[in-house]
Amino acid sequence: MAKPAESSATRLIYGFHAVSAKLRHAPEAVLEVYLSGDRKDARVKKFLATAEAIGTRIVPSEHERLDALVGTRRHQGVVARIDATRREIKLADVLDNLDENALILVLDGVQDPHNLGACLRVADAAGAHAVVAPKDRAVGLNATAAKVASGAADTVPYITVTNLARALREMQEAGVWVVGAAGEAEKSVYQVDQRGPLAWVLGAEGDGLRRLTRDTCDELAQIPMHGSVESLNVSVASGICLFEARRQRADVSA
């Protein structure tokens, strides 16, 4: 099998969760699926039946060829080439179409695709309405991030912005309270009122929030640490912040 042509118009995603989610939520975006002939198990048969039922082009492929396509052996025998030219979702699209108070996760310069994927998965689990990140100095939504996200890359809008501080101000103008996670903050995450429209801003691995991002936030809050480590992985911290917002909102509606 010849290697599929790559361009800015297409990109690759891999793994059963990521590809299956794309088939469910945006089947028209899946151009073709490269499926390893080495697997004959029930999971593959179910996946194949679903893909064929919606008319997806299936390309039988050797496992080694899939390794070369995505640069990893963790593809589980399935890789999809998808249309990357569909209209990008804008922040205003999300803010203008909510029927509940906004809950947004903002990532300031996360550069590890595994962390981005895990953050998307956490955001999906917490019911966040979008994940926002800068276009520069941050990892893009590549195949590794989509794989780790286990389908969440296709259920949670991932919005990239040219100027993060400007995007935060856009949220504030729309009535969203912007809270930055910072270890030196005096107030804890549990003391922040998270019942209204809210955006949590978390910084990059090791460096935390950039100065301009920090200065743009309405307030800062820290996650209390009771052990010997000084900080948490960004996806774990995101989960704590987002699920605390959900807990507070559930208490109000109870």
- Give, to the nearest 10 degrees, the angle between helix 42-53 and helix 16-25: 20
Collect all residues with Cβ–Cβ distance below 8 Å to 124 and sequence separation of at least 6: 149, 151, 152, 155, 156
- Are 10 and 81 in contact by the 8 Å Cβ rule? The answer is yes
Question: What is the number of helices (H) and of strands (E) in the chain?
Answer: 9, 10
Q: 223 a known binding residue?
A: yes
110: nearest Cα among 231, 234, 241: 234
Length of the chain: 254
Tokens in use for 149?
A: 């996200």
| Strand 10-14 relative to strand 78-83, pairing | antiparallel
DSSP H helices in 192-233: 211-216
Tokens in use for 243?
A: 């699920």
Q: 232 a known binding residue?
A: yes
Identify the sign of the CA torsion 70, 29, 17, 103.
positive
CB burial of residue 252 (10 Å; 0-12, 13-18, 19+): exposed
Q: 89 a known binding residue?
A: no
221: nearest Cα among 253, 244, 196: 244
Residues annotated in a binding site:
203, 223, 232
User: Binding site membership for S-adenosyl-L-methionine: which residues?
Assistant: 203, 223, 232
